[in-house]
Chain A
Amino acid sequence: MTHRRYQDIRIDLVYFGHLVDQDKLHRDTIQPMLQARSEDIQTLLEQSQYHLTTDSKDLIKGILSGKAAVFHENESYLVDVAGPPSRSVGQSETETVIVGPHDAFNEDAGVNLALLRKRIKSSHLKVVKLSVGEVTKTDVYLLYIKGLNHEPYVQEAVERIRKLETDSIFDTHMLIEYIDDSSTSIFPQFLTSERPDAAASKLVSGRIVGIVDGSPTVFSAPTSFFEFFSSSDDYYQRWILGTATRLLRYLAFAVTISFTALYVAVTTYHYEMIPESLLLTLAESRSRVPFPPVYEALVMEVMIELLREAGARLPTKIGQTIGIVGGIVIGQAAVQAGLTSNILIIAVASSAISSFVIPSYVMSASIRLIRFVLLILAGWWGLFGMFVGMSGIVIHLSGLTSLGSSYLTPLAPLKPRDWLDVFVRAPLTAIRQRPSQNKSPNPIKSKNRK
């Protein structure tokens, strides 16, 4: 902490040197004070950048968040000269789009707010500022558009955050785990995104968006399961393409959770199901493998997960090695060594690729884990096991809520009108209403007819 005293004008200046922007400090505070004579000082302090602060707690908080405190006689003022280190607005690493805006949120909540305000120039966009963490005192901003938003959702979210008593929060996902409806579930119940355009569209559709200072992701709520399968890209392409890609993602979902399990079930129990032309190739490639299909599949799935995890942790330069090693070891050598059948490799690889098609990383990670459960069930009971597993997933999903609203909307409760923007991406002129899950008081979204 730096303490400067200007004897002749009776001023004390207190600030953290590493939190303030030195240029700003010089320009706004030190420079004018050096030039000022003691009789001018009162007029100087009446300038707009000096905020009169009487509470000592506020003063401390201000200094801790990078402001400079000015003491003059019996008065104290705060000057906002904060300039903590932050990176500039860059591209999103996890949610890339091909067409459409490329900017992404960064770790500075102020920047993030600015990115959103820039997109929604409405006086109805309201921000609730909250603070979380006894030690970290992290700022959390809840945004909503008054008039489009269902008020109880905001109250509920504010309530949950206020009730939260913990020492620290470092990321949006941490906050979500504290405040979502079922923290034991494997499924994320709040959508998270790095993209300002996605967040803005969530706001306009009547949802709440939450920004956590220090985290480049924002969350939106309430969320339905199907939201995780849509990407901003869907809206920036022609609607037919958007629909096709969206359907492709649902297909990928089905493939990723069931393909390997199906292989295990069929090769272990249901040989009748295999087409004749495939039967012999399959039996031939299985004939050298010493393990039952379920162990074979588990080994390969774990291997793929190892590769993925290693690839995610390693720096990009070494990461390429992983690709080569994985490609050779898993692709060729394992088959030649007789450890797995090559049809399993195809099954495992295609379900791994499919899992990456799902736009939300958090959701895709959850689904990858569920795959293992189905795989083991398929090894135990065959197709019946897969059926049991799927039923379990459906039962669990239908029990989940997001801010108290059903996670499976618009399937349960059934809202066929919403399907236009859930299972397909209908032409924008056809999507006339906001999603019913948001219970927006003003549900009409567009009035243009074509």
Chain B
Amino acid sequence: MRNVPRILILTLVATLLAGCGDKRILEDLGFTQTTSYDLLPTGELDITLSIPLADPEAKSKRMILRTTSVSSKESRIKMAMQTHLNLVSGQLRNSIFGLTLSKEGIWNHIDTLIRDPSISPQVKVTVINGNAGELLRKDYKQQPRTGKYIDKMLQKEAEGQNVPKVTLYHFARDYYDDGIDPIAPVLKDIGDHIAIDGIGLFRDDRYMTKIEPKDALIFAFLRGRFKQGELSVDLSRETHSDKQMAMLSGLMSTRKVKVNLGRNGQTTVTFAIRITGSILEYIGPYNLSDHSDKKKLENQIASHIIDKSEVMVRMMQKHKVDSLGIGTHVRNRMSYKAWKSMNWNDDVYPKVRVLFDVSVKIKDYGKFR
């Protein structure tokens, strides 16, 4: 019986506290699935939200809200006035940025997104080659809801290494980390569909250039280890023969970076890349069941990858974007003071000598022999 006052107090507290109004009941919410940001010539932002609708009475499968404003949070207040749903961002999956805005810098928006505790750090960051809002507002008839379409496509392509997986977390990490620059996948509208348009390379938060989709796998080899991917190589140029093609599947790749600082200030960086895979398609003169022929093909593919890699790294050095994170490896080899005293991106990075040591191993060449 001595518990009775305690129970009463507890009940009272519970009832009074329950009055607080932070209830967010599912069907009253409009969960923003994708947000797009574009820069208007006036300097204002053009923001579009795509909200999937669950109401069986609604005709459309999603709701699109659009507004222009100075900041992204201000736009939310404006957009809330256009709808009967409570706008929440806890289910945000993707934030897409138009090309013009990306060139100006997107950090302010990324910062806003990270600051909001209800937004997951797993939200993807994507650049649209063109107008992001237009792409998001468009309905692709043969595809699911546009927001979901982009999200699923990026996820699937990231598994095959055709685009890197870039989330708010990755972007912010690379942004703040010394000696690496952020990247983001680039998409574009091709009429009835959306297509991967490469990998965008950023310097700080500004979009500089991109890597073409056909070179995406080379970029993946250079950027780190992975366990799944497909690569088609055209070896005609290397061998000066009429036609030689190989398609590798089930790729596994590991990367090691060796840094040699050198006495005269000439830093040499060596990428040691080990690739294994199985041949799914091969057109050319070699008989793959012959061991020495297989070795020759492996070497040719390796030298092909080296050539491509050299071109890619030279291009990045030209644009002064260290998307591969070479700087982080160099930084780890020197004192903090020495690192701080040099201007990596502008002075050192473009002059670094980058070497490649690629070995390709063909595990098997298919059922047919």
Contact = CB atoms under 8 A, between A and B. Distances in A.
B203 interface: no
Given A269-B22, A280-B54, A381-B18, A286 B91 contact: no
A423 B84 CA distance: 51
Interface in B1-59: 14, 17-18, 22-27, 29, 31, 33, 52, 54-56
Nearest to B151: A276
Nearest to A275: B91
Contact of A279 (B24, B31, B118): B31
- Classify chain B's interface size: 20 to 34
A40 interface: no
A271 B14 contact: no
B285 interface: no
From DSSP, what is the main secondary structure of chain A's interface residues?
A: helix
From DSSP, what is the main secondary structure of chain B's interface residues?
A: loop
Given A267-B25, A271-B24, A271-B31, A380 B14 contact: yes
Nearest to A388: B14
A405 interface: no
Given A380-B14, A380-B18, A271 B54 contact: no
A380 B22 contact: no
Interface of B: 14, 17-18, 22-27, 29, 31, 33, 52, 54-56, 88, 90-91, 93, 118, 120, 148, 151
B31 A284 contact: no
Nearest to A184: B3
A293 B25 contact: yes
A169 B260 CA distance: 90
Contacts of A284: 54-56
A284 B52 CA distance: 11
A269 B55 contact: no
A281 B52 CA distance: 11
B23 A268 contact: yes
A272 B121 CA distance: 12
A272 B91 contact: yes
Contacts of A267: 25-26
A229 to B, nearest CB: 28
Query: Most A CB atoms within 10 A — which of B26, B27, B120, B151?
Result: B26
A107 to B, nearest CB: 36
A283 interface: yes
21 contacts: A268-B23, A268-B26, A269-B23, A269-B24, A271-B29, A271-B31, A276-B33, A276-B151, A281-B54, A283-B27, A283-B54, A284-B56, A286-B25, A287-B27, A287-B56, A289-B27, A292-B25, A293-B26, A377-B14, A380-B18, A381-B18
Nearest to B58: A287
A381 B55 CA distance: 26
A282 B31 CA distance: 13
Given A292-B25, A381-B17, 7 more contacts: A269-B22, A271-B24, A274-B26, A279-B91, A280-B52, A282-B54, A380-B18
